Structure 1
Amino acid sequence: MDFELKTLDLAGASSEKTDVLLVLVPEGFQAGKDPVSRLAAAALQAKDLEPKPGKLLHAYRPEGIAASRVIFAGAGDGSGRRVHAAVQAATSALRSSTAKKLTIVLPPESGDDAVRAAVCGTAESSYVYVATKSKPEARELKKVVVGVADAGARKQAFARAKAAAIGIEFARELGNLPPNYATPTRLGEEATKLAKSHGLQVEVFGPKEVARIGMGAFLGVAKGSAEPLRFITLRYEGAGKGQAPVVLVGKGITFDTGGISIKPSAEMDEMKYDMGGAASVLGTFRALAELKPRINVIGLIPSCENMPDGASYKPGDILTSLSGQTIEVLNTDAEGRLILCDALTYAERFKPRAVIDIATLTGACVVALGGVRSGLFATDDELAQQLMAAGDAALDPCWRLPLDDEYAEGLKTNFADVANVAGRAAGAVVAAKFLHRFTQNYPWAHLDIAGTAWKGGAAKGSTGRPVGLLLEYLMAQEGAGSGAAAKAAPAGKTKPKSAKGRSRAAA
């Protein structure tokens, strides 16, 4: 979809040649003398139109207006959140139409948040999955013009919004692919293709390389599948080599049966979304390639299937992680933390300024926060605050949960350094405490996206979250490139070996 930013007021919109003119009407709407303003004012006075978000009024070929269709949408206080709701309601109504060009006119006082909301809201609501359909539904809408009072003042926000929309759609498409398509091998191929076409660096390791490195926890999970694992390293280098990178680690379980601790069959098809963390990392790199900020970012994706097989790891097995810590497997459906712990140890070699892992990790987080906010855990208050602010700005919110040491008591075992599960209570926190053991040498945050990475029911599909949050956070780091936050974390005591070469109860 082609987006264009344009200086456009309601007077100019009256003569705009477009299939659909979408006019956002805020509270306190001030009408001018042009045909669009007069029509909106008359509708408001007759109470046929309300400025509440989501309220719509359609007009067909109104007199004095060039557009064949006009939609007035209530925009509330005009904030990004309200604009997002208004645009999504209006563009959703256009999915069955033949409109190819849409012009959105934002209220004159709209800020950067409204511009981002208009672009991303339109892209999200007009997305159509077609990859595996024999007669795919065409996406008729080809061009979207966003009209603002001063296009020059909103140019930067518009560029960031376009990049976010591209990255979110990239992640959604990967997440929606069926598990026999989106295998670990396919994720490696997508990362390689992305790197080659956008000037990134990539390494893709298979089972032999991962065994040589010493990732015993990751290997243990992958043993039960005929699909070979992949460990993907992406590098975006927009700053000098002296600047410490941010490392993003994405869980890439391309299908999760639960392994020997098998899941219930109901809704197990949704476990193709257990690679939502991996998809979000790839989507974020796709967006970075558009914006080219002056920062360094590393992406790490451990990817495999979790399958029941004669070779599968079992409850009671002891795995030795890359860090050297031993792990007793009490539940094979707590596999995500096992592949992540090795990737988090591997991240140390990059001397990162911060490490953020993203994972559809626990059904407990869905119980705690539902599908509105992702769960956030962090060892560093500044990092947590930056991620929360980024989520709010991107309309991709998260909520911080605790990391008290007492939550790790249940992970104690007589047979290894740590068990991979504890009891039912505070399951999302306990999972985070498990990962915390492997992140002692750098500032770390964990995003549990089990409730936000996809939707079920009639709206079933990947959301692309939290690409918006991650991109907003990374772009904010560009200005901090020469500051203290950019310095590498101190080297840890444990040095990894060098390499040569859900049902919603997801865990």
Structure 2
Amino acid sequence: MCILLICRYTVSVAAAAGLQDDSFDGVVVISDNAERLQGDSLSNIYSAISSHKKIDKSESDVVVLMCSGVPSSRLIYCPTGPVTRDYDDVRSFQEAAVRAVKRALSAGCRRPLLVGLNHERFSLSARVTILGGLDALYTPLEIRESCPDRACKADQVGILLPGLKDADPEVKILRALTVGRTVYKDIGGSDPERTAPPAVADYVTEIFKSTCIKVNVISDEAVLEQEYPLLAAVNRASKVVPRHHARLIFLEYVGEGSIDSTLMLVGKGVTYDTGGADLKVGGCMAGMSRDKCGAAFVAGFFQTLSMLKPKGIKVIGAMCMVRNSIGSDCYVSDEIITSRAGVRVRIGNTDAEGRMAMGDVLCHMKEKAANEVNPQIFTIATLTGHVIRAYSEAYSAVVPNGPAKEKGIPELLSKSGEKSGEPFEISTLRREDYALHAAKSEYADCIQANTKPSTMTNRGHQTPAAFLAMASGIAQHGCDSSAPLPYSHLDIAGSSGSFPQPPTGAPLVAMAHAYLLDRPLQA
């Protein structure tokens, strides 16, 4: 039996012995076509659904049926709808599973058994189905802490994967991905006081205590100002409120065996974004507690690493936790701040604080990369509204530099995202992106941002990647360099989810598929 550790509450997750396992009190089945359920192991389910279709052929939504031979004689069935058209993808299975589990809970299930079925078009449909079902069981951190009677939506969850002789390895993966998503949601979705920078540092320190993850928290303001001056500028207005003081959280995982790749992850962790001196007005500030999902991704990814322990890979992460407050000491437009890389940055808009929070940390990663094996550097951030305008709320954007393109990183993420139900769109860095941030006078070396919102800026989600490359010095490590560094910026402003619903966890599963799940795992 596997246990999902979620803060101090647990939900038991086990591979079921079979469809008749009486440890459970209902069976949840997802399929695009009930005919797929014919066969010895699922014949009772097929019969029940076939009988139902005689009186209701719509197959438009989830139904609860009496079914002999399954726990509590309770069957929850949800059709996915069509999945074979040009534009269909595996997310239909995830979405159906979420609806089905929510219906199971409303029907009184406390111990649902989730059945994962593979589809010839989607190699990971069973995994995506189960992850969707487990996703529906998430309870927000504040509810778990303040309302213990509402902490767990279910007492136990079973997993049945017909055709898989040994389900335990798959259950281990499902558990690690789900707990990783839970950590992401806890940090990304909680309110700006519960997850103020010091509180996030405490949370992360606690969850990785006695694990294989090394944690280093930098809280000394003198160190932040000396080594990370761009982040320190954003932090200035928060210094008068101790509970809002910035924290820089470094995480490290080193797998067993010979290391062949090093991932270096920098996550934006703006715990609340007022816009600073360029204040958000007209109701635009609501939801800005979600501006920390990049850092939340980093923590969640390391939670998954700590449980799977993949061999041969090293991962270094940084969570840039800071609040963009307004006050008499806040940074303002026209200031010129010298970055860690020695680049003189003129501030154009204090509401472009995410790139400030990450820029010097990205430079630090650049410096460390010189001593790492096959380094691949990423910034992950809920950075722009433009990415939502460009691709809608469902998609992450990957913006690679030249070496990352040559290494095939955008295609790798696109492929893994398509398979795992967390799709990426590939964007391209162009000369116009660098031109926008080029200095307009000799006072500064580059401009942090223009004065317009990203949604009103041409190429509004691509240009920040150019700034990050320029301010950090990574721009000097392109294809024409003797020491090229693959760097990719991931904008997850849309894919991380819509406030006030819980964050989605994207792109944690896609990144795990790209870099972790094909590796041997430590026992």
Q: What TM-score range do you get, normalising by the shorter chain?
A: 0.7 to 0.9
Query: Structure 1 residue 365 and structure 2 residue 387: aligned?
Result: yes
Go from structure 1 to structure 2 and tell me whether the alpha carbon gap of 1:261 and 1:297 turns closer, same or farther (over 3 Å shift): same
Query: Structure 1 residue 388 and structure 2 residue 388: aligned?
Result: no
Cα deviation code 1:357-411 (max 9, x no counterpart): 1001111112112211011101222111112122222211110112011222222
Go from structure 1 to structure 2 and tell me whether the alpha carbon gap of 1:149 and 1:123 turns closer, same or farther (over 3 Å shift): closer
Query: Structure 1 residue 445 and structure 2 residue 488: aligned?
Result: yes
Structure 2 CA distance for aligned equivalents of residues 408 and 323 of structure 1: 17
Structure 2 CA distance for aligned equivalents of residues 26 and 131 of structure 1: 36
Range 433-442 or range 128-137, more displaced:
128-137
1:252 to 269, 276, 284: 269
Aligned-pair distance for 1:153?
5.5
The amino acid of 1:4's aligned partner reads A
Aligned-pair distance for 1:109?
6.1
Kindly indicate whether the alpha-carbon contact (under 8 Å) linking 1:26 and 1:107 is maintained by their aligned counterparts in 2: no
Range 108-117 or range 179-188, more displaced:
108-117
Aligned-pair distance for 1:16?
4.8
RMSD value, Cα: 2.5
Go from structure 1 to structure 2 and tell me whether the alpha carbon gap of 1:476 and 1:38 turns closer, same or farther (over 3 Å shift): closer
Go from structure 1 to structure 2 and tell me whether the alpha carbon gap of 1:333 and 1:241 turns closer, same or farther (over 3 Å shift): farther
Range 377-386 or range 74-83, more displaced:
74-83
Q: Give the equivalent residue in structure 2 for 1:124.
A: 135
Query: Structure 1 residue 397 and structure 2 residue 423: aligned?
Result: yes
Cα deviation code 1:402-428 (max 9, x no counterpart): 201122222222131111113522211
Aligned-pair distance for 1:66?
4.3
Aligned-pair distance for 1:105?
2.8
Aligned-pair distance for 1:304?
1.0
Q: Give the equivalent residue in structure 1 for 2:38.
A: 31
1:275 to 287, 292, 314: 292
Structure 2 CA distance for aligned equivalents of residues 41 and 336 of structure 1: 54
Q: Give the equivalent residue in structure 1 for 2:458.
A: 425
Go from structure 1 to structure 2 and tell me whether the alpha carbon gap of 1:338 and 1:241 turns closer, same or farther (over 3 Å shift): farther
Aligned-pair distance for 1:244?
4.7
Q: Give the equivalent residue in structure 1 for 2:5.
A: none
Aligned-pair distance for 1:83?
2.5
2:100 to 90, 93, 99: 90
Range 417-426 or range 33-42, more displaced:
33-42
Aligned-pair distance for 1:322?
0.5
Structure 1 CA distance for aligned equivalents of residues 490 and 70 of structure 2: 48
Go from structure 1 to structure 2 and tell me whether the alpha carbon gap of 1:65 and 1:234 turns closer, same or farther (over 3 Å shift): closer
Q: Give the equivalent residue in structure 1 for 2:72.
A: 67
Kindly indicate whether the alpha-carbon contact (under 8 Å) linking 1:80 and 1:116 is maintained by their aligned counterparts in 2: no
Q: Give the equivalent residue in structure 2 for 1:410.
A: 436
Structure 2 CA distance for aligned equivalents of residues 429 and 194 of structure 1: 34
Cα deviation code 1:217-266 (max 9, x no counterpart): 11111111133211111001114575452101100111110100000151
Q: Percent identity?
A: 24
Aligned-pair distance for 1:47?
3.9
Structure 1 CA distance for aligned equivalents of residues 306 and 287 of structure 2: 30
Range 158-167 or range 229-238, more displaced:
158-167
1:378 to 400, 417, 428: 400
Query: Structure 1 residue 208 and structure 2 residue 216: aligned?
Result: no
Corresponding residue SS for 2:333? coil
Range 364-373 or range 235-244, more displaced:
235-244
Q: Give the equivalent residue in structure 1 for 2:8.
A: none
Kindly indicate whether the alpha-carbon contact (under 8 Å) linking 2:30 and 2:129 is maintained by their aligned counterparts in 1: no
Structure 1 CA distance for aligned equivalents of residues 237 and 322 of structure 2: 10
Q: Give the equivalent residue in structure 2 for 1:140.
A: 153
Kindly indicate whether the alpha-carbon contact (under 8 Å) linking 1:222 and 1:228 is maintained by their aligned counterparts in 2: yes
- Give the TM-score normalised by the residue count of structure 2: 0.83
Q: Give the equivalent residue in structure 2 for 1:220.
A: 233
Corresponding residue SS for 2:124? helix
Corresponding residue SS for 1:447? strand
Structure 1 CA distance for aligned equivalents of residues 117 and 214 of structure 2: 42
The amino acid of 1:421's aligned partner reads A
Cα deviation code 1:181-222 (max 9, x no counterpart): 211112222222233232211111122222333x22111111
Aligned-pair distance for 1:42?
2.1
Kindly indicate whether the alpha-carbon contact (under 8 Å) linking 1:301 and 1:343 is maintained by their aligned counterparts in 2: no
Go from structure 1 to structure 2 and tell me whether the alpha carbon gap of 1:477 and 1:187 turns closer, same or farther (over 3 Å shift): farther
Query: Structure 1 residue 465 and structure 2 residue 506: aligned?
Result: yes
Q: Give the equivalent residue in structure 2 for 1:304.
A: 322
Structure 1 CA distance for aligned equivalents of residues 63 and 58 of structure 2: 6
Go from structure 1 to structure 2 and tell me whether the alpha carbon gap of 1:462 and 1:148 turns closer, same or farther (over 3 Å shift): closer
Aligned-pair distance for 1:38?
1.8
Kindly indicate whether the alpha-carbon contact (under 8 Å) linking 1:331 and 1:420 is maintained by their aligned counterparts in 2: yes
Range 31-40 or range 433-442, more displaced:
31-40
Corresponding residue SS for 2:104? coil
Q: Give the equivalent residue in structure 1 for 2:515.
A: 474
